[in-house]
Amino acid sequence: MALKEILNFCSKYGKDYVYRPLYDNIIVLKRNRKDYNNEEILYVNNPNNVLFTGSDFTIESIIDKITGKTKDKMTVNNILLQSVITVGNKFEPFETQYYKSVIPAYYYYIYKTYNYTGEYIEFHKCGRTYAQGFYKNGMKSGRWVYYNRFHSKTEEGEYNDSVKVGEWTYWNSHNYTVHRIINHTLYPE
């Protein structure tokens, strides 16, 4: 999909840039000051995948998640007017949520914006993976794995059109298999 093009485009931005998902777009923001708000006080495992909050940004560009292309000035202005988050070129919400990496901004609700087909990753607030699987035409499909915030599996199984099918395995917080469900029949361990 467009992720490869987006990663290539964003490779030119340094650590002073962050990424804000907005509808089916990614807004590239430049920090205007060194006050990074809650970045320094949160203990996180992978800070690139954490949804931080901050303020005082300038909009660098807006990228379409679907095509991977940047938006022209007129389209950018329309998006910003609809979102009611800017004053001139300044990004002025009460608190802006953003990521340090473009990858979680890309996956953020992408399956809701259109009939997404492709790999999907969702993150815990601490930055570790929460869910990993595949969407086909906006529906969960194939093998999905869910993790707790310590990156231990909590459940794993198959989806077909966003319905759990076949064998599903569930683990407790001590990594013991709690039970398996096969075709909606419970098999305790």
CA 32 to chain centre: 24
Q: What is the pLDDT of residue 93?
A: 46
Taking CA 92 as the corner, what is the angle to CA 86 and CA 94, rounded to the nearest 5 degrees?
Answer: 130
Please indicate whether residue 133 or residue 174 has the higher confidence score (pLDDT).
Answer: 133
CB atoms within 10 A of CB 70: 17
Of the pLDDT bands very low, low, confident and very high (cuts 50, 70, 90), residue 156 is: very high
The whole-model pTM stands at 0.72
Asked if 30 and 60 touch (Cβ cutoff 8 Å), the reply is yes
Q: What is the CATH number of domain 115-189?
A: 2.20.110.10
pLDDT tens, 64-120? 887 888 877 666 656 555 554 444 455 444 467 778 888 888 888 777 667 888 889
- Averaged pLDDT for residues 13-39: 77
- Averaged pLDDT for residues 141-150: 93
Please indicate whether residue 137 or residue 89 has the higher confidence score (pLDDT).
Answer: 137
CA distance 42 to 38: 6
pLDDT tens, 160-170? 999 888 888 88
CA distance 189 to 168: 12
Q: Where in the chain is the domain with CATH 2.20.110.10?
A: 115-189
Length of the chain: 189
Backbone angles phi, psi at 131, to 5 degrees: -145, 145
Please indicate whether residue 132 or residue 76 has the higher confidence score (pLDDT).
Answer: 132
No. of H helices and E strands in the chain?
Answer: 4, 14
Strand-pairing partners, residue 22, are 25
Taking CA 90 as the corner, what is the angle to CA 89 and CA 95, rounded to the nearest 5 degrees?
Answer: 150
Q: Is the pLDDT of residue 147 over 90?
A: yes
